[in-house]
Structure 1
Amino acid sequence: MRRLTTAAAALALAGAGLAGTAGVAGAAPGPVGKAASAATCSTVWGSGTKSATDSDSKPLTNIKTSQNPCYDRMVFDISGATGKLGYHVGYVDTFHQDGSGEQIPVNGGAILQVYVSAPSYDPATMKQTYAGKAGKSLPGVNVTGYKTFKDTRFGASFEGQTQVGVGVRARLPFRVLQSGDKLIVDVAHTW
């Protein structure tokens, strides 16, 4: 709340022609509406590794992406999951396929590695539930024109978890959320 109040005060001073006055930190040139929108984008998520050890062990059925004003979003659909979902998300220097250790090239300024505690197959029948192929782009996902996402690669589904590499513009703040049976990874457009 304090950040919004400070931004509003800076915008009011900027609107009064005082943007160049000392002591008005954070006043941005340009239309007030655009500055106000930028002020509402949180970048306090940090870029450190985030994880949860919980696991529902239901299979992964789909991965989708979307663009938002402040971040790009990747959603892992674990249909039928009712409890907490396990994950391990963090930046890596190189993306190596889980199990084989083979390096998989990922385009972008940084690589965000995502492990979801959900296999891409049904453990009871061994039937594939998500059509990802090692080293290939995620099926049905096109990140062309995204502000932050630059590439996606399927790593593996190994020992009950699925691995994905996301090429991003730079090492930017991200958060991990759960909504029902979906695990959500948001990567901010800026710091």
Structure 2
Amino acid sequence: MRKIGTAAVLFVMAGAGLASTAGIAGAATAQADKAVPAAACSASWTSSTKSAQDSTTKPLRNIRTGEHTCYDRMVFDVTGATGKIGYHVGYVKKFHQDGSGEEIKVAGGAILEIIVNAPSYDASNPNEQTYAGKPGKSLPGVNVTGYKTFRDTKFGASLEGQTQVGLGVAAKLPFRVQQSGDKLIVDVAHTK
């Protein structure tokens, strides 16, 4: 009987994960999953680097964040992307701007470097910026004050079809990367 009970719990947890993923296309707020039981927070995420080589010429339009019961979320809106969005996400000791190599200070106990394989400019006109990030500055419109995991955000650069962001987090915590439609999502767990 124990095996059936364990399987049922895993099935319910998987269903809850799918249900919360289905709502990703909407606002990245915590309302949809506030009722998630604490047991569902024990995810099998890791803190190891994750990447996918796909790329798109559709530009990044927005970056936003949200607080959830078990994790903090960062969403990259690549409006109009129809295929897979490539990325490289991993912890670094120091955050260096792509192109110049200059160090950009990012507050927090650990730094997650996020590279999205989508430019933040119009590929047909590189002078037309589609996302207002400025190298070394906090992400425009993003305020992570009071988050459990997120501490700071910094825009690195956008060149050669990629956009680079530094995310300061409380510690080297497990994370996952997933895609929903034309959105790339990075979730960082509140605990190990």
For Structure 1 versus Structure 2, the TM-score category normalised by the shorter chain is 0.7 to 0.9
Distance verdict in 2 for CA 1:5–1:98, change over 3 Å: same
* AA in 1 matched with 2:84: K
Quick check: 1:4–1:40 contact (8 Å CA) kept in 2?
no
C-alpha displacement of 1:56: 1.9
* AA in 2 matched with 1:190: T
Deviations 1:81-122 (A, max 9, x none): 000000000000000000000000000000000000011100
Higher alpha-carbon Rg: 1
Deviations 1:40-67 (A, max 9, x none): 1133110000000011221000000000
Quick check: 1:115–1:162 contact (8 Å CA) kept in 2?
yes
* AA in 2 matched with 1:56: T
Residue 93 of structure 2: aligned partner:
93
Residue 191 of structure 2: aligned partner:
190
TM value normalised by structure 1: 0.81
Distance in 2, Cα, partners of 1:141 & 1:3: 40
Distance in 2, Cα, partners of 1:158 & 1:106: 20
Deviations 1:19-58 (A, max 9, x none): xxxxxxxxxxxxxxxxx92211133110000000011221
Residue 143 of structure 1: aligned partner:
144
Residue 103 of structure 1: aligned partner:
103
TM value normalised by structure 2: 0.81
State yes or no: 1:114 paired with 2:114: yes
Distance verdict in 2 for CA 1:46–1:4, change over 3 Å: farther
Residue 6 of structure 2: aligned partner:
2
Residue 175 of structure 1: aligned partner:
176
Residue 58 of structure 2: aligned partner:
58
SS in 2 for 1:40: helix
Distance verdict in 2 for CA 1:5–1:85, change over 3 Å: closer
Distance in 1, Cα, partners of 2:43 & 2:108: 20
Distance in 1, Cα, partners of 2:129 & 2:40: 41
Quick check: 1:4–1:39 contact (8 Å CA) kept in 2?
no
Distance in 2, Cα, partners of 1:162 & 1:59: 9
SS in 1 for 2:74: strand
Distance in 2, Cα, partners of 1:174 & 1:47: 6
* AA in 1 matched with 2:142: V
Distance in 2, Cα, partners of 1:57 & 1:48: 27
Unpaired segments of 5 or more residues in structure 2? 11-35
Q: Percent identity?
A: 70
Residue 49 of structure 2: aligned partner:
49
Distance verdict in 2 for CA 1:117–1:39, change over 3 Å: same
State yes or no: 1:155 paired with 2:156: yes
Distance in 2, Cα, partners of 1:80 & 1:103: 32
* AA in 2 matched with 1:69: T
